[in-house]
């Protein structure tokens, strides 16, 4: 895993966990995801890192109120996403090991 990939995955996991904990609003998470540098700068990322980060950002963007209820991202899906981005980090209970920074 590249340094940039690890940083971005950790930051994504942390922001999602903050949203799930109520310290970051879903609107702020959506705005942050829309402005993520991934969309402009992903050249140092492997194909796997690009896929994981793109899917994570896409899942966050599907939280938008304009998304149809049947396809809108649920809180459970967000919590599961944290574990994919940063294995061992539990969105509800915090880190089970090192917390992503």
Which residues, other chains included, contact 38 with Cβ-Cβ below 8 Å and sequence gap of 6+? Answer: 8, 53, 54, 57
So what's the pLDDT on residue 91? 57
Structural domain boundaries enclosing 28 = 3-84
pLDDT tier, 87 (very low <50, low <70, confident <90, very high otherwise): confident
**Contact in structure between 53 and 8 (CB atoms under 8 Å):** yes
Question: What's the pLDDT tens digit per position in 22-56?
Answer: 999 999 999 999 999 999 998 889 999 999 999 99
Instruction: Report percent pLDDT > 70 for the chain.
Output: 88
Domains in the chain: how many in total? 1
Whether 40 maps to a domain, the answer reads yes
Q: Is residue 89 part of a domain?
A: no
Cα dist from 24 to 15, 19, 20, 63, whole Å: 7, 4, 8, 14
The answer to whether residue 92 is domain-embedded is no
Q: How sure is the predictor about 96, in pLDDT bands with cuts at 50, 70 and 90?
A: very low
On whether residue 98 sits in a domain, the answer given is no
pLDDT-based confidence at residue 88 (cuts at 50, 70, 90): confident
Write down the residue that tokens 């402005």 correspond to.
35
Span 68-79, average pLDDT: 92
Closest CA to 65 of 31, 21, 16: 31
């Amino acid at each position: 895993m590249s340094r940039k990939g690890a940083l971005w995955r950790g930051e994504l996991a942390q922001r999602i966990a903050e949203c799930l904990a109520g310290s970051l609003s879903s609107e702020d998470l959506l705005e942050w995801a829309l402005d993520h540098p991934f969309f402009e700068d992903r050249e140092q990322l492997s194909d796997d890192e690009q896929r994981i980060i793109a899917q994570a950002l896409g899942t966050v963007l599907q939280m938008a109120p304009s998304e149809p209820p049947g396809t809108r991202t649920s809180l459970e899906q967000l919590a599961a996403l944290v574990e994919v981005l940063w294995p061992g980090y539990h969105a509800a209970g915090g880190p089970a090991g090192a917390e992503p920074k």
